[in-house]
Amino acid sequence: MIWKEQIECMDATGLKALQSDHLKKLIPYIYHNCPVYREKIDAAGVAPGSIESIDDIKRLPFTTKEDMRDHYPYGLFSAPQDQINEIHVSSGTTGNPTLVGYTKDDLKLWGDVMARVLCCAGAEPGDTIQIAYGYGLFTGGLGFHYGALEMGLRIIPTSAGQTARQLKIMQDFQPRILGCTPSYALYMAEEAKEMGIDPTQGHWKIGVFGAEPWSESMRREIEAAWNMLATDVYGLSEIIGPGVAQECQHKEGLHVFSDVFYPEIIDPQTDEEVPEGQDGELVITTLTKQGIPLIRYRTRDIVSARYEKCRCGRTSPRISKIKGRTDDMIVVRGINVFPSQIEHVLVGIEGTQPQYQIVVDRKAHHLDEVEVLVEVEQRFFSDEIRHLNELRERIRKEIQNVLSVGVKVTLVEPKTIERSVGKAKRIVDKRTL
């Protein structure tokens, strides 16, 4: 079954006509309702009425995360505040977070694309899904929830954590579909074995995993541990949350729902479109959103794309798994982490040096672990050990408050962290991706 077969199997001519119609309506809507975009479009020398085809999108300006932060909270909204029914916030750096708002129609759209995600993964109406993504300001849990409702699935909204309880519920209620981060899926499998549960023996058949980067080897490990199909879902809160793209059961790229999220792959240095199959930065335009539609949003994610028809019958473009970033952001347990966040904390703590390093690993239980190495003044190592421990604990608490992720802090003597010629190497990512 294909949830939106008429659209997802549409020929190239029909898809282009649909995209063009959406874009022709979108640009005047944004221009007349969002002063920030009006200024950007005027600066680009584009008359809103001159946009006739999806091909004209290249004439429009890019949007960046910095635009969202600079005009926080509501500057990039196109819908009036009394029409916004839901708000989500992603983690920020040293300044403002990114905020997104949904009108009633946007929430319907979110449920619709997430239903397409679940169907693409192999779900069928009447299936049971256990949603072990976090609910709240993070978009994961609610996005899956809305999609499951739209598709007619039975929902077990366990949210993240409480692993022993998660596993008991899986045993008792026998969901066919599991949604969570891939690292948490492996962690649960380990915990299941320790509890005397064989995770390969169950009703579950499909996993929809996202919110963090993961490799093909990790996919094989999950599939062997759970005896289930492990599929990848892609999304980002600025665009809609989860629901931008999803793998089908052939696992030959993630299908982008390009009738509502128009993708471009560009060279991040020249801003020009790259040839099919070549790596570039993913840029997305939200063609039908009302609350905070975005034009040519630079995701900073590096992917490649292919456009031939898939064996499943879908004709939508397919993107690869994320191959890297054009900025220094890393994703840890679904949370965006920037070195500048940690730097901001350290600047305000007396006794620390301007040298630090973030080490991310997946050693124990397949969950991401973050260690922050911080150089502190020599006097702390010749002082009472109590003072060193107090400083470590203060740094740990303040970093954890900013990142919303647990960290281990290791204090080191001056000149311990390796210096680089040019840009300092702030992140050491030891995860195998």
Checking if the pLDDT of 192 tops 80, the result is yes
Q: What is the token pair recorded at 130?
A: 């256990």
Least Cα distance to 161 among 135, 127, 142 occurs for 135
Q: What is the pLDDT of residues 383-412, one digit of tens each?
A: 778 888 999 999 999 888 888 788 899 999
- The domain made up of 1-326 has a fold known as Rossmann fold (3.40.50)
Residue 203 has a pLDDT of 95
CA distance 376 to 371: 16
Token pair 């996919």 is found at: 219
Q: What is the pLDDT of residue 295?
A: 98
For residues 247-254, give the mean pLDDT. Answer: 97
Cα 184 to Cα 161: distance, rounded to the nearest angstrom: 9
Partner residues linked to 335 by β-bridges: 332
Residue 17: how many other CB atoms lie within 10 Å: 14
Mind listing the pLDDT tens digit for each residue in 291-341?
999 999 999 998 999 999 999 999 999 999 988 777 777 778 777 777 767
Q: How far apart are CA 371 and CA 357, in angstroms?
A: 8
Percent of the chain whose predicted confidence (pLDDT) is above 90: 68
pLDDT of the residue at 433: 57
| Residues 125 and 153: beta-carbon distance below 8 Å | yes
Task: Identify the bridge partners of residue 266 per DSSP, sorted by sequence position.
Answer: 273, 281
Same fold? 1-326, 335-429 = no
Question: Would the pLDDT of 11 be above 80?
Answer: yes
**What's the average model confidence in pLDDT over 172-192?**
92
- First CA to last CA across the chain, in angstroms? 32
Q: Exposed e or buried b for every residue in 280-312, given b needs 16+ CB within 10 A?
A: bbbbbbbbbbbbbbbbbbbbbbbbbbeeeebeb
Domain limits, the chain: 1-326, 335-429
For residue 400, what pLDDT is reported?
Answer: 87
- 281-291 per-position pLDDT tens digit: 999 999 999 99
Judge contact between 322 and 234, C-beta under 8 A: yes
Range 335-429 has CATH code 3.30.70.260: no
- Per-residue pLDDT of 57-104, as tens digits, reads 999 999 999 999 999 999 999 999 999 999 999 754 446 888 999 999
> Minimal CA–CA distance to 429: which of 357, 374, 375, 378?
357
Residue 260 has pLDDT above 60, yes or no: yes
Task: Using alpha carbons, list the distances in angstroms from residue 404 to 369, 374, 399.
Answer: 13, 19, 8
- What's the pLDDT band for 182 if we cut at 50, 70, 90? confident
What distance in Å separates the CA atoms of residue 245 and residue 64, rounded to the nearest whole number? 20
Give the model confidence (pLDDT) of 101-117 as tens digits.
Answer: 999 999 999 999 999 99
pLDDT at 250 over 90: yes
Say yes or no to pLDDT of 364 above 70.
no
DSSP states of 198-221: -TTSSS--EEEE-SS---HHHHHH
Min mean pLDDT across 23-27, 102-106, 193-197 is at: 193-197
Mean pLDDT for the stretch of residues 2-24:
94
Distance of CA 104 to the CA centre of its chain: 22
Q: Which residues are paired to 298 by β-bridges?
A: 283
Nearest of 74, 114, 66 to residue 92 by alpha carbon: 66
